[in-house]
């Protein structure tokens, strides 16, 4: 029997021998430890492996959050799971300590615009992306976003040749701090907050002009904090 199999057998998840209060505290500790140890958001099914069947994970998470209320870090729901994140108020201190690198400007302007288009209009094919911008989107741009882990091939489109349609990934949600795609900023709310120009927002209802569409997605990219270079979208033609 492997070491991992022995460890799985040894873990008592029900903890029937403990009083209810102690059992709950032990479950809280296990859940917190698993989330803390993971570099990626931890899904519900993973946490369910370390607690009993009667354990309500949502209540466990709430209790852990209550205990962390005055701490410089918190548990957040992201990409369908949970992860530890430092509270925003301590960002300056972390940067000043020099122990965390600044995020690299990995996305060019055209990559940022294509990523935002996929995020809001997925599933979408490369041909449909080209129609949106009024010019072809290169395979290199798609490959760069796939290599970054932000998009992946989704269902095949019911079009001649059955091309793949592209969708965003859990890594996209995690990177931008979204629990699900429902958390993407609403265009009208961004406009009301002054983060999206009224001219660009109006273009979202009529995605025909390349300039209007590019302006819309550029505003969205800025609102979401996508770091983009200054290269021109026209260079993307294959």
Q: Across the beta sheet with 42-43, what order do the strands follow?
A: 42-43, 81-86, 73-78
**Mean pLDDT throughout 98-107?**
61
Helix (H, G, I), strand (E, B) or coil at 166: strand
Kindly give the residue spans of alpha helices, DSSP state H, lying in 90-197. 91-97, 109-121, 126-133, 139-147, 170-176, 187-192
State the pLDDT confidence band at 65, using cuts at 50, 70 and 90: very high
The residue among 53, 72, 60, 56 whose CA lies nearest residue 34 is: 60
Q: Residues 6 or more apart from 99 whose CB is under 8 A from it?
A: none
State the pLDDT confidence band at 176, using cuts at 50, 70 and 90: confident
Q: Residues 6 or more apart from 3 whose CB is under 8 A from it?
A: none
State residue 3's pLDDT score. 57
Cβ atoms of 125 and 226 within 8 Å: the answer is no
Residue 231 pLDDT more than 60?
no
> Average pLDDT of the chain?
77
Q: Tens of pLDDT along 20-41?
A: 999 999 999 999 999 999 888 8
State residue 229's pLDDT score. 46
The angle subtended at Cα 139 by Cα 232 and Cα 228, nearest 5°, is 35
Domains and CATH numbers, the chain: 3-97 (1.10.10.10), 109-236 (1.10.10.10)
Residue 45 pLDDT more than 80?
yes
State residue 63's pLDDT score. 96
Question: What Å distances lie between residue 133 and 23, 80, 126, 151, 203, CA to CA?
Answer: 57, 31, 11, 18, 12
Q: Across the beta sheet with 124-125, what order do the strands follow?
A: 124-125, 164-168, 151-156
Identify which has the larger pLDDT, 169 or 91: 169
What does pTM read for this prediction? Answer: 0.57
Cβ atoms of 119 and 180 within 8 Å: the answer is no
State residue 160's pLDDT score. 73
Q: How long is the chain?
A: 238
Residue 5 pLDDT more than 60?
no
Q: Tens of pLDDT along 117-143?
A: 898 888 999 988 888 888 899 999 999
**Mean pLDDT throughout 81-87?**
89
The pLDDT > 90 percentage for the chain reads: 30
């Amino acid at each position: 029997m492997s070491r991992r199999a022995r460890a799985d057998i040894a873990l008592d998840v029900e903890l029937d021998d403990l009083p209810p209060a102690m059992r709950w505290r032990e479950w809280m500790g296990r859940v917190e430890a698993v989330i803390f140890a993971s570099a990626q958001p931890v899904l519900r099914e993973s946490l369910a492996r370390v607690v009993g069947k009667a354990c309500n994970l949502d209540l466990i998470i709430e209790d852990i959050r209550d205990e962390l209320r005055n701490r410089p870090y918190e548990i957040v729901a992201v990409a369908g799971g949970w992860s530890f994140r430092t509270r925003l108020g301590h960002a300056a201190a972390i940067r000043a300590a020099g122990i965390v690198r600044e995020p690299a400007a990995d996305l060019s302007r055209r990559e940022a615009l294509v990523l935002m288009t996929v995020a809001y209009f997925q599933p979408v094919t490369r041909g449909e992306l080209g129609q949106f911008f009024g010019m072809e989107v290169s395979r290199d741009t798609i490959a760069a976003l796939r290599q970054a882990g932000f998009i992946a091939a989704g269902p095949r489109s019911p079009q001649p040749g059955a091309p793949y349609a592209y969708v965003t990934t859990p890594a996209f949600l995690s990177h931008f701090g979204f629990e699900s795609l429902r958390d993407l900023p609403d265009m009208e709310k961004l406009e009301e907050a002054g983060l999206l120009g009224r001219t660009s927002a109006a273009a979202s209802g009529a995605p025909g002009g390349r300039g209007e569409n590019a302006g819309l997605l550029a505003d969205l990219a800025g609102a979401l904090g996508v770091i983009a270079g200054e290269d021109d979208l026209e260079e993307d033609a294959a």
